[in-house]
């Protein structure tokens, strides 16, 4: 079982047992009563049209059933229907009608893994299912960036080629973006060119997995599934 610091959890979504979004982790409170996650919600100010954050509540850590790992960070799962109670929604089992609103929703296994988003509804023997696509890895199209940069600043492009050979490294993982930004700045690139490189970030399609409808536990703001191999 993995443990998380507040720094690692801050901003993570908090999902209740009915698959509804309760809010986002904003703090950690330790007192004589116990340990609590502080949760906030984000709402749009009708006057300014800007998103603002408001405190929503405290969640005892005893209500955390799992912390699911995903490519965009952790997701906190609760054992209680906190948001359902807040909205006045009664607990309900998935129905065939939920299939229509499944595409696009995030799918989370209750044992602690973010599986991806529903791409489409599929059918198999005796039951429907959900095809879920995992988030793909993002890469910088370095070779294409260097080629395009030559028409703009051949000297800079040549310096960057010497630092990171685009023919040996045509695509570079997103986690090296800061390194690339660093060498651009070291070689005198303007901030406009540094920002231009961001537009060469491309996401490779992730793998898909088909989940039987019988494994779907709850359908709300997200989809909770269980009983997977």
Who contacts 66 (Cβ-Cβ below 8 Å, separation ≥6)? 77, 110, 111, 112
With bands split at pLDDT 50, 70 and 90, how would you rate the model's confidence at 227?
confident
Distance CA 22, CA 41 (A): 8
Percent of the chain with pLDDT over 70: 100
Q: What is the reported pLDDT for 203? A: 85
User: Domain check: are 79 and 146 in the same one?
Assistant: no
Is 219 domain-assigned?
no
**Mean pLDDT score of the chain, rounded to an integer?**
93
Is 11 domain-assigned?
yes
User: Domain check: are 87 and 142 in the same one?
Assistant: no
Is 129 domain-assigned?
no
Number of compact structural domains in the chain: 2
Positive/negative CA dihedral, 219, 222, 225, 229: positive
Is 132 domain-assigned?
no
Residue 61 has pLDDT above 90, yes or no: yes
User: Domain check: are 66 and 142 in the same one?
Assistant: no
Determine the structural domain holding residue 28 and report its residue range: 6-91
DSSP symbol at 221 = S
Is 220 domain-assigned?
no
Is 229 domain-assigned?
no
Is 188 domain-assigned?
yes
Three-class DSSP labels, 70-104: CCCCCEEEECCCHHHHHHCCCCCCCCHHHHHHCCC
Is 225 domain-assigned?
no
- pLDDT per position as a tens digit, 113-129: 999 999 999 999 999 99
Q: What is the reported pLDDT for 186? A: 94
- pLDDT per position as a tens digit, 160-184: 999 999 999 999 998 899 999 999 9
Q: What is the pTM of this model?
A: 0.76
């Amino acid at each position: 079982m993995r443990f998380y610091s507040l720094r690692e959890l801050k901003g993570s979504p908090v999902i209740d047992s009915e698959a509804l979004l309760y809010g986002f982790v904003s703090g950690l409170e330790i007192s004589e009563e116990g340990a609590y996650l502080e949760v906030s919600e984000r709402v749009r100010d009708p006057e300014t049209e800007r998103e603002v954050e408001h405190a929503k509540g405290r969640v005892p850590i005893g209500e955390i059933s799992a912390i699911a790992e995903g490519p965009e960070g952790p997701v906190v799962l609760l054992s209680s229907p906190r948001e359902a109670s807040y909205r006045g929604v009664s607990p309900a089992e998935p129905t065939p009608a939920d299939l229509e609103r499944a595409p696009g929703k995030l799918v989370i296994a209750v044992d602690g893994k973010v599986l991806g988003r529903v791409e489409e509804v599929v059918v198999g023997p005796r039951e429907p299912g959900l095809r879920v696509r995992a988030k793909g890895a993002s890469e910088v199209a370095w070779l294409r960036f260097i080629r395009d940069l030559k028409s703009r600043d051949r000297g800079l492009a040549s310096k960057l080629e010497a630092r990171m050979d685009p023919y040996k490294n045509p695509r570079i993982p997103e986690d090296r973006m800061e390194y690339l930004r660093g060498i651009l700045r070291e070689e005198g690139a303007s901030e406009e060119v540094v920002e231009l490189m961001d537009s060469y970030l491309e996401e490779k399609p992730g793998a898909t997995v088909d989940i039987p409808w019988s494994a779907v536990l709850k359908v709300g703001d997200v989809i909770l599934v269980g009983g997977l191999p």
